[in-house]
Structures are given as structure tokens and as C-alpha cells.
Amino acid sequence: MPTSCTGPRQPRERARHNLRMSKPVIAVYPGTFDPITLGHQDLIHRAAGLFDTVIVAVAMAHHKKTMFTLDERLDAVREVMHDYPNVRVEPFTGLVVEFAKQHGARVMVRGVRSVTDFDFENQLAGMNRALAPQVDSVFLTPDARYQHISSTLVREIATLKGDVAQFVAPAVHARLLQKLKS
């Protein structure tokens, strides 16, 4: 049924209209980024094209041991994303939905590489929605060239002296090599 300018809008049209006519959309893309990979960069690049502001939220990662310190991870993400004026990089601890609410974010960006990722991310999105209904989860898939890349595998291969240059930006590769020397 067509709608007129004077008639009521359908729910989907109303949501689209409200999104366009309201304040800028801030998205949060959380992760440990230990290290940031080309897959992460691909998702940030695409999110930067979709949303007015993207906050790359680098987790303190109290739940796992990281190769890089929080400051090193923040520096690496800032270095490789410096050409994106609408991307900010900030640390966070605690619940990411609380971080999102504190920064006025309406969207949580999550990367999904496989069905396994989707199952986990879908459950996480449900929990996040229960905690913060005003923050919607948006799933993005990386370019096919990057779907197999994970920070965990990059760290493992690098630690075993394998070549990971094809999985990370040159600046990140240099940081990995330096870290493994020390």
C-alpha cells in the first residue's frame, strides 16, 4: 500500500526516515586488535563509509593475555587508520554496551567471517540488546581476501617464525617483528 506525504508511514519507512533526519550515527567497533589485521581494517574502512563516526574501541582484554600492551594496540590501530577523519580510537574496559552508551553510539559493528562467528555474534547481540536496547548490532563480513584471517592465528604463526606480512599492514608487521625480537 503506497503512503502519501500526509499519511502515516509504515514502520520500516518511519525507521529509515528517523535515522536520516536525526543526529549523526555513531558506531562502535570493539575488539582487542592484538594485532589489528587487514580484515579488521577492511571492516573499519567499510563502517567509516556507513556511519558518521566510528569509534574503534580497543579492549583492555582482562580476560586474556595479549601479545601487545593496550598502549601498543592503541598506537597500532591509530597508525593504520590515520587517514580516516571519522574514525576515532579509544580504549575501554568493562561492558562494551556501557562504553557505547557513554559515547552516544547507536550501532555496534561486529565482524562475521563464518557461520561459527555468526552463532556467537548473534548470541552476543541478543545479550547486548537486552542490556542496551538503544544500541543495534550490525554484522559486516570482511572481503573474501580476509575471511580466513584472525589475530589469534597471526600471533601464532608469527610466534612460530612464519611470515604474516600478507595478513597485516606493513606498520603492524614491523611492530610484530620488533615485539618478537624482545
Active site (annotated) includes residue 23? no
pTM of the model: 0.84
| Residue 3 belongs to some domain of the structure | no
Crossing angle of helices 170-181 and 70-80, rounded to 10°: 150
| Residue 165 belongs to some domain of the structure | yes
* Residues 15, 16, 21, 26, Cα dihedral to 10°: 90
Which pLDDT belongs to residue 5?
47
Which pLDDT belongs to residue 86?
98
Catalytic residue among 40, 73, 106, 173: 40
pLDDT per residue rounded down to tens, the chain (182 residues): 444 444 444 554 545 445 555 789 999 999 999 999 999 999 999 999 999 999 999 999 777 789 999 999 999 999 999 999 999 999 999 999 999 999 999 999 999 988 888 888 888 888 999 999 999 999 999 999 999 999 999 999 999 999 999 999 999 999 999 999 97
| Full domain range(s) for residue 123 | 23-181
Quick one: which of 38, 43, 177, 11 has its CA closest to 108? 43
Catalytic residue among 106, 110, 151, 175: 151
Which pLDDT belongs to residue 2?
44
Question: How far apart (Å, rounded) are the C-alpha atoms in residues 26 and 103?
Answer: 8
| Residue 168 belongs to some domain of the structure | yes
Catalytic residue among 46, 88, 113, 179: 113
| Residue 10 belongs to some domain of the structure | no
| Residue 30 belongs to some domain of the structure | yes
Contact present, 139 and 121 (Cβ < 8 Å): yes
Active site (annotated) includes residue 40? yes
Which pLDDT belongs to residue 21?
53
Q: What is the 3-state secondary structure (H, E, C) of 141-173?
A: CCCHHHCCCCHHHHHHHHHCCCCCCCCCCHHHH
Catalytic residue among 23, 64, 65, 181: 64
Active site (annotated) includes residue 113? yes
CATH number at residue 88: 3.40.50.620
| Residue 69 belongs to some domain of the structure | yes
Active site (annotated) includes residue 63? no
Which pLDDT belongs to residue 174?
97
Count how many domains the chain has: 1
Crossing angle of helices 170-181 and 151-159, rounded to 10°: 50
| Residue 152 belongs to some domain of the structure | yes
| Residue 140 belongs to some domain of the structure | yes
